Amino acid sequence: MTSTFEAPPESVQHEHYMQRALELAALGTGCTSPNPLVGCVVVRDNRIIGEGWHEIYGHNHAEINALEAAGDARSATLYVTLEPCHHHGLTPPCTQAIVKAGVSHVVYALADPNPRAAGGAQWLQTQGIQVSTGVLEAQARFQNRFFLKHMACQRPYVIAKSATSLDGRIATRTGHSQWITGPEARERGHELRQCVDAIIVGADTVIADNPSLTVRLSAAGHNPDLIRHPRPVVLDSTGRVPLHSNLLNGSLPTRTLVMTTDAMPREHRLTIETRGFEVVSVLHNEHGPGTSPLAVLEALGDRGIHSVLIEGGATVSGSFRDAGLIDEMWTFIAPTVIGGESARSAYSATGSDTLGDATQLHDVHVENVGRDVLIRGCVTRPDTAPSTKQTTEQTSTTPSTEGATQAASSDTTTTASH
């Protein structure tokens, strides 16, 4: 009796190789902004012959690295998480390299929303190359949610992080907060810092904790040469942050951006600026104290910042929540009860009047992190409600970019910030 091997359907093969490309793309986390994360594999005869990813901003794109690793890519299929670029920026167009390499089929997950770089798929088709799109698009969209959000509205994607006790407190009634969560949760928090362009804290947090807001990861599993420190952003509407604080004394690897209002004394502002720090005046918050959350994000978007992490304090986190400007929430919960009416919660400001007004999450993930629990999810809005449609591969003669500019909405603090 003889048996025959039946190859899996083409769509299954495409998803298998695209999943590998997504894994490769993730290796560039924190190092490619303002470019997107992109991974690529080159396949021939159901075997990967080359793979690569966009490693560092300004360096080769994923397709170039994968083609160089493959050597001979004639008649191969190239899988890439983002539509190959068709313009000359810091590097030449990837489309030309694909044609020159003799690739016969290109499969990509997500259309490029950047009008300067888009159009690569259509041009490849004019060169006789088969093009397929939409494979694992939802996963690719989430992976590049920072890039897509900025492309869509020129504002950064906002993640709010907090670390609380079981009863939702971020500190005791006396303000003691270091540390509510364990070392594993704090390590995970530093990994999240590595992902973003900037970290936002308020004046109260700087005064209370004197944080550095740098990325500090254990040597195991982390290449120190690839550590990138996000830019600290301090919201200080009246100039209360001491000049000797870590964020303003010039001792850190990145330069702090101070967001203020016209209520900051002119002398204080000039002193900060003479130390080499940028100070930006924005509108007052119409619904509470401090700076306008929307004005802050618009100013950051104008500076090319694609993603921000809010690490407190409670008033800052609460004001961004009240304004509906948070895209994603991460909450580390420790098996500890603090109690006390005056012990602060993670989100203050005005808050919701009814449960119907409360912030709801979707694509919620719950995981154990050491002794603590992490709950993370995306904020649900009418335009980001989970879709019931399944993502399927589609072969296109005229690749569409419809929906590519929508911000991602599906999966991948201590207010003692430090």
Known catalytic residues are 63
Q: Residue 330 and residue 321: Cα distance in Å, rounded?
A: 13
In 305-402, DSSP assigns E strands to 307-310, 328-333, 361-369, 372-379, 394-395
260 in Cβ contact with 239 (< 8 Å):
yes
Among residues 128, 131, 65, 133, the alpha carbon closest in space to that of 102 is found at 128
Q: Residue 61 and residue 21: Cα distance in Å, rounded?
A: 13
Q: Residue 252 and residue 37: Cα distance in Å, rounded?
A: 27
- Tell me which DSSP letter residue 282 carries: -
Among residues 60, 8, 10, 12, the alpha carbon closest in space to that of 35 is found at 60
Measure Cα distances from 283 to 204, 237, 293, 317 in Å.
Answer: 19, 9, 9, 18
User: How many C-alpha atoms does 390 have within 13 Å on its Cβ side?
Assistant: 2
Question: What letters, b where the CB count within 10 A reaches 16 and e where it falls short, cover 218-251?
Answer: eeeebeeeebbbbbbbbbbbebebeeebbbbeee
The identity of residue 87, as a single letter, is H
Q: What backbone phi and psi angles, to 5 degrees, belong to 153?
A: -140, 10
Give DSSP secondary structure letters for 169-217. Answer: BSS-TT---TTSS-HHHHHHHHHHHHH-SEEEEEHHHHHHH--------
356, two tokens? 């119907």
